[in-house]
Amino acid sequence: MADEPLELGEISLSDWHAHADTMAEVGFLTIARRLPSLVRQAMGMAWRASPRDTVATIVLNLLGGLFTAFGLLATTGVLNALFSEGPTPDRVIAALPSLALVATAAALRTVVQAGAGWAQSRLNPQVSRRTEERLYGLTSRVELAAFDDPDFHDALERARSRGVAIADSVVTSTINVVTAAVGIAAVAGVLGVLHPVLLPLLLLAVLPDAWAAVRTARMRYTARFALIPVIRRKWIIAELLAERAPAAEVRSFTMRGFLLRMYDAAAKAEQDTMLGLARRETVARLVGEALGGIGSALVYVALGVLLALAAIPLAVAGTAVLAIRSGQTSLANLMYATNRLYEDGLYFTDFLEFCAHAERRLPDQRRAATPDGFERISAKDVTFTYPGSDAPALRGVSVEIKHGEVIAFVGENGSGKTTLAKILSGLYEPDTGSVLWDDTDLREVDPEELRGRTAVIAQDHTRWPLTARYNITMGTGKGEESLQAAAAVAGADEVIAGLPHGYRTLLDRRFKDGHELSGGQWQRIAVARGFHRDACLLICDEPTAALDARAEHALFERIRSHSDGRTVLLITHRLASVRYADRIYVLDHGKVTEQGDHETLMTLNGLYAELYTLQASAYR
């Protein structure tokens, strides 16, 4: 099967370059127009991270530029003294005051540049922290449906992979642009004082480098942008090859060779793209450097002509040479910093755009008071469609749950049971229809506060890499008595008793002294987590999927006894566990097709009766 073509889905070759034309029209003028906005955004971010270090960095860099200009002007005095007539000792003595000024300017420039570097090194980690806080603050607040949207995932991947990591680099590049611009301004001022004709000579040596920098930045970003899907797939396959969770199945189904083939296909595509990029970048640099060499030659020819025409004295020409070389260095730094800022800014813009998109998907500010409880939960004509899906997951569903009832949702896979439960608890908002807790529409209350009134025991619960205590309490501080009571109701106290450090045991074997649980043990921890919340609505979504028959029976007995006075919504395929529910809703392809208690539904002889009879016959 080694020669069998691979089905790579979203990383097929045609998709790798789906966005390759994003940067096709970008030129120097586009960069020049965009730089002020990038500088403003970067400085705003730096200011929010640390106003003191931002001010110190800018002020010290400005002082460095002033001392550079002062040193160059003082150099003219040195050269005038050295090139004047008279004995050499007298000329050297005459040059000493100017030499002292040059030395002083150099020393002061070194000190302030060191101070600027120190302030900038303090600024970078603060910027990184603020950026990460902003990203994860948003991803943890956006509506849950966003995580079912593939476009949201692509935008999030761009923001996480480069956007966050590049934030401090954007600030650094911005400061380098400002520093280089100050240096150029200082040199330009000196040349303008010496002779106005000298000023245009600075441009001759740097325009080719500017062209090369812009072109390579555009090519690099285009390649990286096009490779995002393949990099995502590489990461996913790498997780399958290197993580503990899939390790057993990788070996059981001898998938090593197959996964390596898929990884190699993705890696080869990335390699081919990057090799082509390296070739194009090299050509662009060679052309830029060749043209830059021609420009430098023209600068020195122009200086020679000015000397020959006696347009400038020799001392001024000497200072001009030093100033032009300093200006070339500053211009080279400016081109490099501009290149980095523009390129980094493209990735950082991905981060900013994702943040703006995520902010639009945050729940609106809602003023209605969140009810502490309810006498009745009712869903009226609810429809819901997942992002990117053509078929609705729910179609005109209406249900009612009264306080203290045990309600069951049953149906085949994909019937909409879990989706409906998430809508009733405020995790999803319906496209149409309404969900009311008594007379309060859930669209009008803060979803974060509403979630504090509900608890979910999920089949696909998270195995948090935290201690056993935090896996149950989820960071809430209800005290030891509440913790142990929840563990006892769920049967998790027996699991905790077998752990080496009790509730302080870290439940992740990837860390030192970590401990791993079986699937059934994790299920009991998840049940304890739901009981510990002590919410007015308890949603149990396949809570016994990982339990053996004895543990399953014991858990349902505990849920039944624990539900006294509470409202329980039970989602399960094991219909023997729901026969004692107050009311059972049968869902089929997103619609409620039957409702009633067990006896009523058996009398109807519909889908519920069919499924129940099939399961019961398997045990006879």
Distance CA 156, CA 139 (A): 9
CATH number of the structural domain 455-534: 3.40.50.300
Distance CA 57, CA 49 (A): 13
This model's pTM is above 0.85: no
Q: Could you give the dihedral angle defined by the CA atoms of residues 220, 221, 222 and 227, in that order, rounded to the nearest 10 degrees?
A: 90
Residue 530 phi/psi, 5-degree rounding, is -70, -40
pLDDT at 381: 92
Domain ranges of the chain: 9-360, 455-534
User: What DSSP letter does each residue of 270-297 carry, written as one string?
Assistant: HHHHHHHHHHHHHHHHHHHHHHHHHHHH
Nearest to 74 by CA among 51, 103, 50: 103
**The tokens 């430098």 sit on which residue?**
296
Task: Give per-10-residue mean pLDDT for the chain (620 aa).
Answer: 51 36 50 75 86 89 80 67 62 72 83 88 88 88 82 81 79 83 78 71 67 71 74 82 83 84 86 86 81 73 74 72 72 73 78 86 78 87 88 91 89 88 87 89 84 81 86 83 86 89 87 83 87 85 68 70 76 81 91 91 90 78
Distances (CA, A) of 321 to 104, 187, 203, 440: 21, 11, 14, 79
pLDDT at 14: 33
Pairing relationship of beta strands 406-410 and 567-571 according to DSSP bridges: parallel
SS3 per-residue string spanning 76-94: HHHHHHHHCCCCHHHHHHH
Tens digit of pLDDT for each residue in 76-108? 666 666 556 656 676 667 667 777 887 888 888
CA angle 342–236–345, rounded 5-degree value:
10
Distance CA 410, CA 494 (A): 31
User: How many Cα atoms are found within 13 Å in the side-chain-facing hemisphere of 606?
Assistant: 18
Radius of gyration over every alpha carbon of the chain, rounded to an integer in angstroms: 35
User: What DSSP letter does each residue of 533-561 carry, written as one string?
Assistant: H--SEEEEESTTTTS-HHHHHHHHHHHHH
Distance CA 472, CA 155 (A): 33
Distance CA 362, CA 142 (A): 5
pLDDT at 549: 65
Nearest to 451 by CA among 576, 365, 537: 537
Superfamily name and number for 9-360 = ABC transporter type 1, transmembrane domain (1.20.1560.10)
Residue 572 phi/psi, 5-degree rounding, is -160, 155
